[in-house]
Amino acid sequence: MACLRVENDTLITGYRITNGCARGNYTYFALSFSKPIQNYGYTDKEKPVYTCFWKKFSLNTNFPEIAGCRIVCHFEFGHDPSPLIVKTALSAVSTQGSVKNLEKEAAHKSFE
């Protein structure tokens, strides 16, 4: 199971729950991009049995959050030819913890 949320045009947060040896272990993450996200979308390869009132929304295009067992995401960043820099941080505690780790540990680091 995984959950992903687009917080703003350069920050994504979420978590993944493992289902193997460490069953039920949460790994929280934060991703920051050097360019703003122009468009994004999701596909859940395992369709939910019941979607309640969510079926009235277009969940596959520019919807800020998705959760599922087999989700696939795509992001578009426009036509700017400069390199896209992605910074990632993890936390075993919360998505807020992963954002704090991102700000503290990766904010001033470069790819080089």
pLDDT, position 54: 56
pLDDT, position 52: 64
Q: Which residue range is the domain that position 16 belongs to? A: 2-106
The Cα–Cα gap between 14 and 56 comes to: 24
Give me 55's structure tokens. 């079926």
Please indicate, yes or no, if residue 112 is contained in any of the structural domains.
Answer: no
Please indicate, yes or no, if residue 88 is contained in any of the structural domains.
Answer: yes
The Cα–Cα gap between 3 and 92 comes to: 15
Please indicate, yes or no, if residue 57 is contained in any of the structural domains.
Answer: yes
The tens place of each residue's pLDDT in the chain, 112 residues long, gives: 899 999 999 999 999 998 777 778 999 999 999 999 999 998 888 776 656 655 666 677 888 888 888 889 999 999 989 999 999 999 999 999 999 999 998 877 776 7
Please indicate, yes or no, if residue 34 is contained in any of the structural domains.
Answer: yes
| Tally of structural domains, the chain | 1
Please indicate, yes or no, if residue 86 is contained in any of the structural domains.
Answer: yes
Please indicate, yes or no, if residue 59 is contained in any of the structural domains.
Answer: yes
Please indicate, yes or no, if residue 99 is contained in any of the structural domains.
Answer: yes
pLDDT, position 91: 96
Query: Strand ranges (DSSP E) for the chain?
Result: 2-8, 11-17, 26-33, 39-44, 65-68, 71-76, 86-91
Please indicate, yes or no, if residue 111 is contained in any of the structural domains.
Answer: no
What's this model's pTM, rounded to 2 decimal places? 0.84
Q: What residue has token string 């910074």?
A: 87
